Amino acid sequence: MSKVTFLLPIALIAALAAGCGGGGSSASIDKEDVAVVGKTHISKTDFNVLLAQAKRSFAQQGRPFPKAGTTDYESVKGNAVTLLVQQAERQEKADEMGVAVTDADVQKRLDQIIKQYFQGKKSKYEAQLKKQHLTDAQVRKDIRTQLVSEKLFNKVTSGVAVSDDDVHQYYITHPQLYSQPQSRDVRYILVKSRTVANSIYRQVKAGTDKTWCTLAKKYAKDASGQNCGKATFTKGQTVPAFDKVAFTQPTKTVHAPIYDPVQYKSWFVVEPLTPVKPRQTTPEKQVKTSIKQQLLQQKKNQEMTNWVTKTTKDFCSGSKVKYQAGYTPNPDPCAATTSTNATTTG
């Protein structure tokens, strides 16, 4: 069974550390809050759940969790608060934009999780909850947060499009992605000694496929010996001395030993097995769909990044966040978007 972690891991907390707003708020902060975002209260219970997940993540990695009062602890603590504030900011924006997640949406996603990871058995799901010290309500809350993010992404990026001109421009400016250089099947044996190389050359020149296989397995100084010396190379892939012989020597003709003074400082005995396969280019029409999908995802990601940046600035400049004393992240994530630190504590 694949491992399931319902809450966001500490690595993701750190990655999102830059995405929060700061500043004062007209909303009153209760003693059981760590912060208030607009009208949304972030409880100490939510914070403690996330901190407990961070502790489990550290334990799973075999790392000691930072001691309270240390710089590392304050960093983890600040990142947890930052993530919760960012989630609240997104929920506030979702409400403004009419983005809603219903209980039925949450149940559908939970059913999918149980089917995928627990063979559709609720008992196995509940056992995993117990193992991770979580409740069903906590999991549902986490799922709701994820669904809000997904729906916001879809709404924010709904107008993003990629034209045929965009696809064509990408295709012609990235020719290396859609073409294959000349290639050829060869067999070879790499050895350190010139004397051994000459001996191999004489034997394989007068021998059979079995001779090649036996000598490759016995003498080859690289992995090619496991395949009787056979391999496929593209032009320019390997060292110049080998490359020249591999792409100029007649098919089924063993070349006298060649020395590579550049990288291997060893001797090669080489025999091309097939004609050189010409350079091939994949037509644009064959990759048009995949290019369009790739560019569309890139443009959507950028559109969402721009939206998140604007949202952050709105909350920072709008003084819509208030922190409980002792829970203000340090440094204040809003410092990058405001010239003055307007953070207040209650």
Looking at residue 337, what is its pLDDT?
A: 66
- Residue showing tokens 């983005």: 99
Whether residue 242 has pLDDT greater than 90: yes
How far apart (Å, rounded) are the C-alpha atoms in residues 98 and 245? 68
pTM of structure: 0.67
Find out whether 4 and 117 touch, Cβ atoms under 8 Å: yes
Q: pLDDT by residue (tens digit) across 210-230?
A: 999 999 999 999 998 889 999
**Nearest Cα to Cα of residue 197 among 234, 229, 239, 243:** 229
Q: pLDDT by residue (tens digit) across 100-159?
A: 999 999 999 999 999 999 999 999 999 999 988 889 999 999 999 999 999 999 999 999
Q: How many CB atoms lie within 10 A of CB 125?
A: 20
Find out whether 255 and 270 touch, Cβ atoms under 8 Å: yes
Looking at residue 336, what is its pLDDT?
A: 67
User: If pLDDT is split at 50, 70 and 90, which confidence band does 327 have?
Assistant: very high
Q: pLDDT by residue (tens digit) across 293-304?
A: 999 999 999 999
Token reading at 306: 């721009």
User: If pLDDT is split at 50, 70 and 90, which confidence band does 331 have?
Assistant: confident
Phi first, then psi: give them for residue 295, nearest 5 degrees: -65, -35
User: If pLDDT is split at 50, 70 and 90, which confidence band does 15 have?
Assistant: very low
Q: How many CB atoms lie within 10 A of CB 305?
A: 10
Whether residue 316 has pLDDT greater than 90: no
Q: Is the bond leading into 333 cis (omega within 30 degrees of zero)?
A: no
Q: pLDDT by residue (tens digit) across 160-179?
A: 999 999 999 999 999 989 99
User: If pLDDT is split at 50, 70 and 90, which confidence band does 343 have?
Assistant: very low
Q: pLDDT by residue (tens digit) across 49-66?
A: 889 989 989 998 999 999
- Reported as type and span, the H/E element at residue 86 is helix 71-97
Looking at residue 39, what is its pLDDT?
A: 87
User: If pLDDT is split at 50, 70 and 90, which confidence band does 338 have?
Assistant: low
Find out whether 21 and 321 touch, Cβ atoms under 8 Å: yes
- C-alpha count within 13 angstroms, C-beta hemisphere, residue 157: 20
Token reading at 71: 């710089």
What value does the mean pLDDT take over residues 194-217? 96
Q: pLDDT by residue (tens digit) across 274-283?
A: 999 999 999 9
Looking at residue 317, what is its pLDDT?
A: 77
Looking at residue 71, what is its pLDDT?
A: 93
